[in-house]
Amino acid sequence: MTVRDRVLAGVRAVGVWLDDPARGRQRRRRLEAALGRAASGVPRAAPERAAGALRPVLERRRWRAGACADLEAALAAGDARGAEELERLLRHVEVRRGDALAEIEPPQDRAGTARERAAVCSLFARQAPVRRDWRLLNAALKLADRFAPATSRLVGPEVAADWAAALRDVESALAELEARCASRC
């Protein structure tokens, strides 16, 4: 089963979560346990937050490596500039599609590029329920669909662990947004 198949299975599982929340919680516990076993001892990408004010995450279509930590900190602090940068990043992913985040500053190897894409996918997935913005979840699903299947077998276990965590974040965000929609009906 490829990573893409897992994402699609996760999307189909949302229907189960809505129909039977106890079964959904059980599935999430199993997913987190499997992720823990798969990624045990594998360090997850956690770039350090830069000191000072938020710098642009995209400079002339080049993604600044490690910018997710800065952007997430700015968003958590309620910084308006963080929301602007998130919107710019969203537009970049939507417009560039398969070339999204292809140019990274400083230049990265294949694994570094894959880890940055996984971090952005996770960022979109975590921000989607917070902002109640389906566009962010859609962008996370697109990133996962385009890049997760290819990277997990081309690069090492660290990247696979990052993508597994990103897919877990996507699945969780999808379940949360669907539950909010169901509660309104």
Do the Cβ atoms of 16 and 27 come closer than 8 Å? yes
Distant-in-sequence, close-in-space partners of 6: CB < 8 Å, separation ≥ 6: 167
List b or e across 66-78, with b for residues whose CB sees 16 or more CB atoms inside 10 angstroms.
Answer: bbbbbbbebbeee
Q: Which of 81, 176, 69 is nearest to 131 (CA)?
A: 176
| CB-count burial class (<10 Å; 0-12, 13-18, 19+) for 178 | middle
Give the amino acid at 133.
D
Closest to 113 in 3D by CA, of 147, 157, 161, 73: 147
Question: Residue 147: CB partners within 8 Å, gap ≥ 6?
Answer: 114, 117, 118, 121, 163
| Alpha-carbon torsion, ordered 101, 81, 169, 15, to 10 deg | -110
Tokens encoding 105: 């500053």
Q: Write out the chain's pLDDT in tens, 185 residues.
A: 565 565 556 555 554 544 566 666 666 666 666 656 655 555 555 444 444 555 666 665 677 777 888 888 889 988 888 899 899 889 888 887 777 777 887 788 888 888 888 999 999 999 999 999 999 999 999 998 888 766 556 677 788 888 888 989 999 998 898 888 888 76
Helix extents (H) in 39-185: 67-76, 80-96, 110-131, 134-154, 157-184
CB atoms within 10 A of CB 129: 18
